[in-house]
Amino acid sequence: MGQEKGKLCDEYEIQDILGRGGFSVVRRGIKIKTDGQKSSQQVAIKTLKRFGTSASTPSGSFRVSAEKSIASMGLPAWNQVSISDALLTNEILVMRKIVENVSPHPNVIDLYDVYEDQSGVHLVLELCSGGELFDRIVAQERYSEAGAAAVVKQIAQGLAALHQANIVHRDLKPENCLFFNKSDDSTLKIMDFGLSSVEEFTDPVVGLFGSIDYVSPEALSQGKITFKSDMWSLGVILYILLSGYPPFIAQSNRQKQQMIMAGDYNFDERTWKNISSSAKHLISNLLQVDSDRRPSAEQLLAHPWVIGDSAKQEQMDAEVVSRLQSFNARRKLRAAAIASVLSSKVLLRTKKLRTLLGSHDLTKEEIDNLKIYFKNICAKGDNATLPEFEE
């Protein structure tokens, strides 16, 4: 059994909200020393909401030590959990595996502690205060292929460590890559393992929300998802880094899905003429529909462009950054809309749900997914309320 050690609020002062996910709230925390004074150690506390229970704030939670007790948290059998419980359980299992087999690694987020209470589970994580990958790049205004190669190298290093530990991330995208701090040479860390899989759990947990831009053809066609699926996602990130737009652009998700499954993308001459052939060659290798042909993370780390030998040093066209700015801004708006819809309790009332969904710039597919999601929550009965979080 996990040893009960104390409450979260006795050991961390919980501060401002750093961000919200579909099923989570992330807050800054400051470690309280044994003499009751605040230490200088700042952390990120990610609260994974548990649905179908009465709301409660992290203040009533109990602490369990990271390595020992995640295993003994009495998690339900895999086939008995709801979508949200499955996501919650899965993230904890993957984080346990990371603590056991990967940590500490400079390019993978570290887990320090876990607390559990009625409202869900609170993961005490390494704080990354340097911002999301694309946010930092658009703030720089100009950057070079060599700068993009340095980013790809860090992601590949993190993936190599995860893959070696038999973990497939499955949801690799720029918003899941955060810089540790604001310094120019800050490390980049891979995070958010809610959809990841470990060897014991090959059964896919399907994400209902968000973009399919980074999803591999094999994941879309329900085929076998392997480490190479993460390499596809990295190929998409690289394509966007060098052009400012995604490789698969379509009017609807269905059409986009078909394009992804057919590997139907191109290097438009006007945008790509100044990009090195080595970079394009690398993208072509990563974005191969046949996953076996894609390079592994280890192989990528030996590629001349990633090492920096063949990546151009000169600044890229300003247009690339301005396109990336608009792509990033649109993406953030939609993510914020989905997170706010998901975290709003009043939406259980269908009329309000319709009004709110209509007021956001979401695709038809996203609205449909949200409707299915709320229908499932409502179907759980009168006690199934979305948890409230104090702000």
User: Alpha-carbon distance 381 to 12, whole Å?
Assistant: 35
Q: 203 catalytic, yes or no? A: no
Compute the distance between CA of residue 18 and CA of residue 131 in angstroms, rounded to an integer.
10
Binding residue (CB under 6 A) for ligand ATP from 2, 120, 194, 235: 194
Residue 191 interacts with ligand ATP (CB under 6 A)?
yes
Strands (E), the chain: 12-21, 24-32, 38-49, 62-65, 111-117, 120-126, 177-179, 188-190
Say whether 46 counts as a known binding-site residue.
yes
Q: Which stretch binds ligand ATP (CB under 6 A): 125-133, 268-276, 347-355, 376-384?
A: 125-133
18 binds ligand ATP (CB under 6 A): yes
Among candidate residues 27, 1, 26, 24, the one with its CA nearest the CA of residue 13: 27
Stretch binding ligand ATP (CB under 6 A), from 8-16, 123-131, 234-242, 303-311: 123-131
Q: Does 337 bind ligand ATP (CB under 6 A)?
A: no
174 secondary structure, DSSP code: G
216 contacts ligand ATP (rule: CB under 6 A)? no
Helical residues (DSSP H) of 129-221, grouped into ranges: 133-140, 145-164, 217-220
Kindly state the smallest distance separating residue 335's Cβ from ligand ATP, in Å: 6
Strand order in the sheet with 62-65: 12-21, 24-32, 38-49, 120-126, 111-117, 62-65
Restricting to residues 29-88, name those near ligand ATP by CB under 6 A: 44, 46
Member of 12, 23, 327, 374 binding ligand ATP (CB under 6 A): 23
The region of 63-71, 96-104, 124-132, 133-141 touching ligand ATP under the rule CB under 6 A is 124-132
Among 127, 138, 168, 316, binds ligand ATP (CB under 6 A): 127
Which one of 85, 110, 117, 171 is the catalytic residue?
171
Q: Check residue 20 for interaction with ligand ATP (CB under 6 A).
A: yes
**145 close to 225: Cβ distance less than 8 angstroms:** no
Establish if 21 lies at the interface with ligand ATP (CB under 6 A): yes
Q: Give the DSSP per-residue string, 223-249.
A: ----HHHHHHHHHHHHHHHHHSS-S--
| DSSP secondary structure, 36-83, as one string | S-EEEEEEEEEEEEPTTS----GGG-EEEEHHHHSTTS-PPPGGGS-H
Cβ of residue 301: shortest distance to ligand ATP, in angstroms?
24
* Binding of residue 114 to ligand ATP (CB under 6 A): no
Q: Which residues bind ligand ATP (CB under 6 A)?
A: 18-24, 26, 44, 46, 109, 125-128, 175-176, 178, 191-192, 194
The residues that are catalytic are 171
